[in-house]
Structure 1
């Protein structure tokens, strides 16, 4: 028999956005149905952020053994047990999994249904054994790795982020299609664990980043041993007796034991019967307004599945917070103003070593938007902490208007993903460049570099003849 439910909120997808929505609504006493047809925790816990960062940590430990000569520590070659590495990754997933588990959310009061859901009509969602009517619906089904239309790829065995962490044996020679964040993070990690790694992309790496910072990262990875074929056009991918081969249009052939495809993601909308729900969609995902509302006013989309608004786990969490506020804390009408999920301050980070983090506009984007900008710099080779740790690659770049409004920033170097949060706090609270100058940074820390970059805006004015005359005049009164 089909079970019938009539609830306040029905959520499809138990990833970052769906779980945050479910927890928030349930703790507010709302009745919630949460559907998940696959693994609780979604892509981030099981195939994305969590396992990749665990792999990166393993790679860092292996690399550190051979990187101590400058400190007087005799380098040693790491001996890697790949099965133990995989056990470490699974152990990290298992440690976090209870927070995302069915049991936890049922304990919060949610009705958790472990089946695939689809729309029956504009007001109803069904699965194999259930039928749900709700005041509001949220689609939070995320995205999956997509394969580019390269001849031969569909006939060749390849890995994605969904199975690379459980591959039976460590790739001896890993070929990676895609020079984006996933390709770079996994490429460096497998290189450090002992694999030979080559990355192929039709475009230059990190084209959306500040070019000088992208160059610093690519140079560091190249010096470590990562081989780039970018930009390069792929003519054919084919299976070989020893693994896989990639024929490039320039006549070269690359051969490896394994192939990882890390060339983009597609929204997970298959099987949802969105047309039956009156929900407009495209290959880019579900169409929404600035408040994440779809063409069906009862249905909202959050996270990667919302066309043009996802792509990051923390973006999904941000969407969930916006929707909770809009549903339960803002009066009708006001939520159209204060419930917008648009943002020009979404931080992003690539967790290679060095890290590359960014927020807001690049210098080029700011100029294209018509701003008269100042690019403020400070390099880590002038930062005492970075010098002491002999890790002084990179620096801070802040993009600001001449009146001090911060439009964006980029940081490349050790801990960049943490440092960018200082800029995020400033932009969120409309703090201008002078606010960053005024902070007191503990010495010696890398965070000083943000303050020093901001201070460079006033360097010329500070030592000008006009300022000197002012100082001379004021000194007469003291």
Structure 2
């Protein structure tokens, strides 16, 4: 017989979003059970954001060897792991079950010898690497982000399928650590980003010696460890000794037995409404498993909304309009809100595009980081989107994420005093570009000034 638990909230998944819900709920007085069948900290800590940024940082240091870089990755993960550990959450008052969970009915799950009958469930099981059905791939050793960071054998020639953020970040890290790198992309490299800005990043990566082959659909993979061949649909072939597959992710729903709980899925993810509830109103889904944007910060954003809904009964509405994204290559690439194409389609001739080149920023000149551009898309004095390619783009985009989240006007950013010299002045310069023609090219402004000067 399984033991019965009746918590206020059962959280399934010990990644970033699930941990945020569990910690927030228990500290606000709710009883919480957290179920995690694999590693606490989830993909972000163990296979994603943390190790990838640690490897990029190590690779940027002159003289850093491959083994030392991997040691750095392991040390960074180990330094963060206690914050996400079973022990910490048990100390907060969360009951942690180290097992996989599955629904047995609309209000019950089983995990680790327990039957969990919670008032509310929060599914935060995240996602896993998607491995495409390419002929021969299943028979050839290959990496995904879940295996790449522990491998201590440096590739002589790393082949990468997929030129999205993961593929391009790992391409640069391995190139800087001394490996030859070829990236094959079936469509366009960094294809979900602003094309003008993506070109800046791709140009820099190519200058470092990374081969980026676009419109390259892989038809077949053959070979063995140390001797791998990729054959394209057009007949071309590429050889290397290691292979990384980085073509996207799939939601982790297979173990949950969602049908038993009356929870619908679509396109491989849980169907949720704007309040993040599934078709079973007692069950919320957050982060990657709910489809949509697959970022750690989205999972954390969802966690905050669910705490409000589940603990306080408040209405919530998830939005993506103010969610930023970033690729941490050097130079970086970041954006928030509508893209240029989306903004043009929505606002037509009334859209204004504000530009601030890094080459005109004194800090960029001083540090030799003049390759970059900030663009802001404005409508009636408000930003509707922004995109940056260049040094610290991921930091610069924060201002525009705040502006869009708080529905600020461009005048708020233009009126901000930024320390000199900083790259942050690019934000102020872009916002100021909206007012330049209105102030310096306006006949009415000049008439008013001349009138005032008579007194």
Q: TM-score, structure 1 length as denominator? A: 0.93
Secondary structure at 2:451 match in 1: helix
Q: Distance in 1 between matches of 2:453 and 2:46?
A: 64
Give the structure 2 partner of residue 325 of structure 1: 308
Of 382-391 and 248-257, deviating more is 248-257
Query: Is the contact between residue 266 and residue 283 of structure 1 (CA under 8 Å) also seen in structure 2?
Result: no
Of 225-234 and 297-306, deviating more is 225-234
Query: Is the contact between residue 141 and residue 224 of structure 2 (CA under 8 Å) also seen in structure 1?
Result: no
Confirm whether residue 467 of structure 1 aligns to residue 451 of structure 2.
no
From 268, 279, 289, the equivalent of 2:252 is 268
After TM superposition, the structure 1 = structure 2 runs for residues 374-393 of structure 1, keeping only pairs within 5 Å, are 374-393=352-371
| CA deviation vs aligned residue, 1:293-340 (integer Å, no higher than 9, x gap) | 0000100100000022x4000000000001111222344xxx1xxx01
Cα distance change of structure 1 residues 112 and 239 upon mapping to structure 2, 3 Å threshold: same
Q: Distance in 1 between matches of 2:353 and 2:268?
A: 33
Give the structure 2 partner of residue 126 of structure 1: 110
Q: Distance in 2 between matches of 1:113 and 1:242?
A: 40
Secondary structure at 1:238 match in 2: strand
Of 276-285 and 173-182, deviating more is 276-285
Give the structure 1 partner of residue 170 of structure 2: 186
From 221, 229, 238, the equivalent of 1:237 is 221
Which 5+ residue runs of structure 2 have no aligned equivalent? none
Q: Distance in 1 between matches of 2:225 and 2:19?
A: 44
Confirm whether residue 156 of structure 1 aligns to residue 140 of structure 2.
yes
Deviation for aligned residue 1:248: 1.5
Poorly superposed stretches of 4+, deviation over 4 Å: none
Give the structure 1 partner of residue 29 of structure 2: 29
Give the structure 2 partner of residue 171 of structure 1: 155
| CA deviation vs aligned residue, 1:222-247 (integer Å, no higher than 9, x gap) | 01111011121222111147421011
| CA deviation vs aligned residue, 1:423-471 (integer Å, no higher than 9, x gap) | 1111111111111111111100000011101111122222223322221
Q: Distance in 2 between matches of 1:235 and 1:297?
A: 44
Secondary structure at 1:30 match in 2: coil
Query: Is the contact between residue 16 and residue 317 of structure 1 (CA under 8 Å) also seen in structure 2?
Result: yes
After TM superposition, the structure 1 = structure 2 runs for residues 16-415 of structure 1, keeping only pairs within 5 Å, are 16-62=16-62, 78=63, 80=65, 82-240=66-224, 242-308=226-292, 310-331=293-314, 335=315, 339-371=316-348, 372-401=350-379, 403-415=380-392
Query: Is the contact between residue 363 and residue 373 of structure 1 (CA under 8 Å) also seen in structure 2?
Result: no
Give the structure 2 partner of residue 436 of structure 1: 413
Secondary structure at 2:60 match in 1: helix
| CA deviation vs aligned residue, 1:395-448 (integer Å, no higher than 9, x gap) | 2100011x1121010011111101100111111111111111111111000000
Of 408-417 and 468-477, deviating more is 468-477
Q: State the aligned residue count.
A: 453
Query: Is the contact between residue 176 and residue 187 of structure 1 (CA under 8 Å) also seen in structure 2?
Result: yes
Deviation for aligned residue 1:149: 2.1
Q: Distance in 1 between matches of 2:312 and 2:70?
A: 44
Question: CA RMSD of the aligned region, Å?
Answer: 1.2
Secondary structure at 1:166 match in 2: coil
Which 5+ residue runs of structure 1 have no aligned equivalent? 63-77
Give the structure 2 partner of residue 68 of structure 1: none
Query: Is the contact between residue 59 and residue 69 of structure 2 (CA under 8 Å) also seen in structure 1?
Result: no
Deviation for aligned residue 1:284: 2.9
Q: Distance in 2 between matches of 1:149 and 1:297?
A: 35
Q: Distance in 1 between matches of 2:449 and 2:38?
A: 68
Confirm whether residue 425 of structure 1 aligns to residue 406 of structure 2.
no
Secondary structure at 2:369 match in 1: coil
Q: TM-score, structure 2 length as denominator? A: 0.97
Query: Is the contact between residue 164 and residue 191 of structure 2 (CA under 8 Å) also seen in structure 1?
Result: no
Q: Distance in 2 between matches of 1:207 and 1:475?
A: 54
From 429, 435, 442, the equivalent of 1:452 is 429
